[in-house]
Structure 1
Amino acid sequence: MPIITLTTDFGEKDHFAGAVKGAIYSELPDVKIVDISHSVSPFNIPEAAYIIQNAYSSFPKGTIHIIGIDSEINEENKHIAIKLDDHYFICANNGIMSMICSEITPEQIVEINIHDHIETKFPALEVFVKVACHIARGGTLDVIGKTIGSIKPIRNIIPYINDEQTQIVGSVIYIDNYGNVITNIKKDFFTKIQKGRDFKISARQYIFKEIYSKYSDVVNFETPVEKRNDEGKKLVVFNSSNYLEIAVYKSNSKTSGSASTLLGLDILDAVSVKFINKKN
């Protein structure tokens, strides 16, 4: 029996997450359910896309991922099921899957049509659960929908490069639990455009000229502990998912502040990289 994961913006207070789990267990008592996150900011498509992209591949092939974000069905927000990288994703066609699909081509995409027999006000419970359980039993996507060729894109997913390739303009796509700011600029993309040149990373009025390998690289361990003043230092790294991240060393958004609060950065704010051509 495959695993079913849940990624939603339901939070922990309300009954929604529990009701979805109960409905799955009612149909498949032996299934394993894993919560990826129920703390996605409400209706935050880029945040949900980043979370599911960086979590799904840690699960076994054949895992089924329910994504309950902005899933109310209407003419502009249909429901889809996707087979990609031998995983299954069930969600609204609102851009959530475009981050993954920009790197891996889906094997199959269907627009779910079982709504013809279900009137729903709670799609994750009344539609996504039924589709997930159908797949878990070995059912095919062709039974629950019609094949479509593409999905809705998400804006600002791909950084902009100027014609001279001297500047990348990216945007903030995620702010993590520590208040660190993750951009849509990936390491491979950065390196390809950089071509060994020096650079300046700009975020509002702040300038960074160095990218560290890890957070603690800002610490001078030769300095005695009692004389160090490293906590709160601003830095840039490529994080564990290889995205360019602006961070504050050992930040605490509730006390000393975080990269997001101290730099005044939020989702979709611009972060740019200017490359400096070396003189001959």
Structure 2
Amino acid sequence: MSLITLTTDFGTKDHFVGAVKGAIYSELPNAIIVDITHDISPFNITETAYILKNAYKSFPDNTIHIIGVDSELSIDNKHIAIELDNQFFICPDNGLISMIASEVNPTRIVEINIHNHTNSSFPVLDIFVKVASHIARGGNLNVIGKEISNYKKITEIQPKVNQQQTIIKGGVIYIDNYGNAITNINKKLFSSIGKGRNFIINASRYQFKKVLNGYNEIVDYTLPEEKRQYDGDKLALFNSADFLEIAIYRSNLKTVGGASTLLGLKYRDTITIEFEDIVKPEFVTINQ
């Protein structure tokens, strides 16, 4: 029984998702199809990479992931199938895989080249489903194309550190359902560069000098309940995926608002962390 996931920017209004699922069931009647999401912002590669990176690890080995975002075939945007972390990914070579593969190297990468490949105007339906079905039946990746050694990498999802290691410069890579702004700065990088030093996080015109371990940490539970008024307060924390997040406590885009609206944070906005610069004392020789 094959487990196949779908991650697309198709939305659910049109026929696209239904057509893809129907094609999978026509090829594999016993398949299990899981929708990771179809609400990716149109053509947003970074958002796709963030969501998929944090979803795929929960799936069992040999799961097949079909990714339909910016999937039209072109000279600059080839189609690839990747075996990585004991799972398979069928996607355009537009850089989205580089965030997923930032910690785990692919076992094998194949550039897809099957019959009528270049003639398809709906490659997720016409090509990706066929490749997924081939893999699900135990087929070898080399049958559907030639093996390659590299894939396209996008640098915008990687934060930068200055030479003195006093500043991390990152950016907003995703706005979640609550309006929280997720950055590309993870806890591991923060800890390795910060080394326990004091810091200031700059997000738009707002600053944070503390990173919480959870949303509720902002609440002072020693106060009577009627005096706990924190809804709408801003905070910074490392989320469940260990990425730095700028959030509004109990945010709701329809009422209170979220960090994206209240703090004016948008996709690709710059976020910096400035660490205290510890100057080592200079020692001089004193003649006695």
Instruction: Give the whole-Å Cα distance in 2 for the aligned partners of 1:102 and 1:254.
Output: 36
Give the 3-state SS of the residue equivalent to 1:156 in structure 2: helix
**Whole-Å Cα distance in 2 between the matches of residues 156 and 42 of structure 1?**
18
TM-score (norm 1): 0.98
Q: Spell out the pairing of 1:235-254 with structure 2 (5 A cutoff).
A: 235-254=235-254
Give the aligned residue type for 1:258.
G
Cα shift at 1:277? 2.6
Percent identity between matched residues is: 59
Q: What is the correspondence of 1:2-151 to structure 2 with a 5 Å cutoff?
A: 2-116=2-116, 119-151=119-151
> Which residue in 2 is equivalent to 1:161?
161
1:94 partner letter: N
CA RMSD, Structure 1 to Structure 2 (Å): 1.1
After superposing the two structures, state which structure 1 stretch, 14-23 or 226-235, moved more: 226-235
Separation (CA, whole Å) in 2 of partners of 1:262 and 1:32: 41
Q: Could you tell me the TM-score, scaled by structure 2's length?
A: 0.95
Would the aligned equivalents of 2:2 and 2:30 in 1 still touch at CA under 8 Å? Answer: no
The one-letter code sitting in structure 1 at the alignment partner of 2:119 is: E
Q: Distance in 2 between matches of 1:255 and 1:93?
A: 40
1:236–1:247 Cα contact (<8 Å) kept? yes
Give the Cα–Cα distance (whole angstroms) in 2 for the partners of residues 173 and 153 of structure 1.
15
Q: 1:179 corresponds to which residue?
A: 179
Separation (CA, whole Å) in 2 of partners of 1:157 and 1:149: 21
Q: Return closer, same or farther for 1:72/1:219 CA change in 2, 3 Å cut-off.
A: same
Secondary structure, aligned partner of 2:88: strand
Q: Residues 128-169 of structure 1, C-alpha deviation per residue, up to 9 Å, x if partnerless?
A: 000000000000110001111111111311111111110000
Q: Give me the whole-angstrom Cα distance separating, in 2, the residues matched to 1:182 and 1:15.
A: 31
Alpha-carbon distance between aligned partners in 2 of 1:7 and 1:92, rounded to the nearest angstrom: 12
Specify the code of the residue in structure 2 equivalent to 1:156: E
Please give the secondary structure, in 1, of the residue aligned with 2:174: strand
> Residue deviations 1:89-145, cap 9 Å, x none?
000000110101111100000110015466211010000000000000000110001
Q: Which residue identity lines up with residue 164 of structure 1 in the other structure?
A: Q
Q: In 2, distance between residues paired with 1:35 and 1:166?
A: 41
Matches within 5 A, 1:209-248: 209-248=209-248
Q: Which structure has the greater CA radius of gyration? A: 2
User: Is 1:199 matched up with 2:203?
Assistant: no
Q: Could you say what secondary structure the match of 2:154 adopts?
A: coil
Preserved contact between residue 115 and residue 127 of structure 1 (Cα < 8 Å): no
Q: Distance in 1 between matches of 2:96 and 2:66?
A: 12
Query: Which residue identity lines up with residue 60 of structure 1 in the other structure?
Result: P
- Deviation track 1:161-205 (CA, whole Å, cap 9, x = no partner) reads 111110000011111100111100010111000011100000111
Match of 1:211, SS? coil
Would you say the 8 A contact 2:117–2:127 is kept in 1?
Answer: no
CA distance in 2, matches of 1:149, 1:6: 25
Deviates more, 1:55-64 or 1:258-267: 258-267
Instruction: Specify the code of the residue in structure 1 equivalent to 2:218.
Output: V
Q: Which runs of 4+ in 1 moved over 6 A?
A: none
Cα distance in 2, alignment partners of residues 106 and 210 from structure 1? 37
CA apart distance, 1:60: 0.6
Report SS of the residue matched to 2:42: coil
Distance 1:118 1:93, change over 3 A: closer
Matched to 1:158, the amino acid is Q
The question of whether the paired residues in 2 share the 8 Å contact of 1:98 and 1:154 is answered with yes
Q: Which runs of 5+ in 1 are unaligned?
A: none
